[in-house]
Amino acid sequence: MDFCFDWKENEEKIQELKEVIESNKVKKGSLMPVLHEAQKIFGYLPIEVQKVISEGLNVPLAEIYGVATFYSQFSLIPKGQYTIGVCLGTACYVRGSQEILDEIKKKLDIDVGGTTKDMKFTLQATRCLGACGLAPVMTINEDVYGKLKVEEVSDILNKY
């Protein structure tokens, strides 16, 4: 799915980001707090937002991109309202989490790392969620679903 950044639609958010940059640019180590705030404002860090940060903080764009792609809490593409995480750690995997992941991919018509066209769901494959006794496990935002069966996937997704 392709996402196109709309400057006109994001004018207020860009102004808000510029205010965040202005209030942080004299502080040492300001890049991380500015990136966090930008992610809160926009929901993701498209290259256009990274360029605004680069110009405002006088930090090379390559450095900003490197930080944004290194840390998993940052995203370069928009995320859905609900983030689904399916554990593929050993305990979950041997108890069928791959089949659950495949069912979700089929139902939502997205791949791992993708977001549905309606911006409702983002799908992630995770490693150990720390709930091995409930394997296989998936999360939807903060909700945890354990001891899952493939036939339960549709009903769970329909709740959201």
In the predicted model, is pLDDT for residue 72 greater than 80?
Answer: no
Q: Please state the pTM of the whole predicted model.
A: 0.68
Report the alpha-carbon distance of residue 112 to residue 126 in Å, rounded.
10
* 2 domain residue, yes or no: no
Domain limit, last residue, from 47, 70, 93: 70
Q: What is the pLDDT of residues 5-57, one digit of tens each?
A: 889 999 999 999 999 999 998 899 999 999 999 999 998 999 999 999 999 99
* 5 domain residue, yes or no: no
Number of structural domains (the chain) is 2
pLDDT at 156: 98
C-alpha 50 chain-centroid distance: 16
Q: What is the pLDDT of residues 82-121, one digit of tens each?
A: 999 999 999 999 999 999 999 999 999 999 988 998 989 9
Domain limit, last residue, from 46, 70, 94: 70
Domain region containing 148:
82-158
- Average pLDDT for 135-149: 96
DSSP 115: B
Contact 84, 139 (CB under 8 A): yes
* 98 domain residue, yes or no: yes
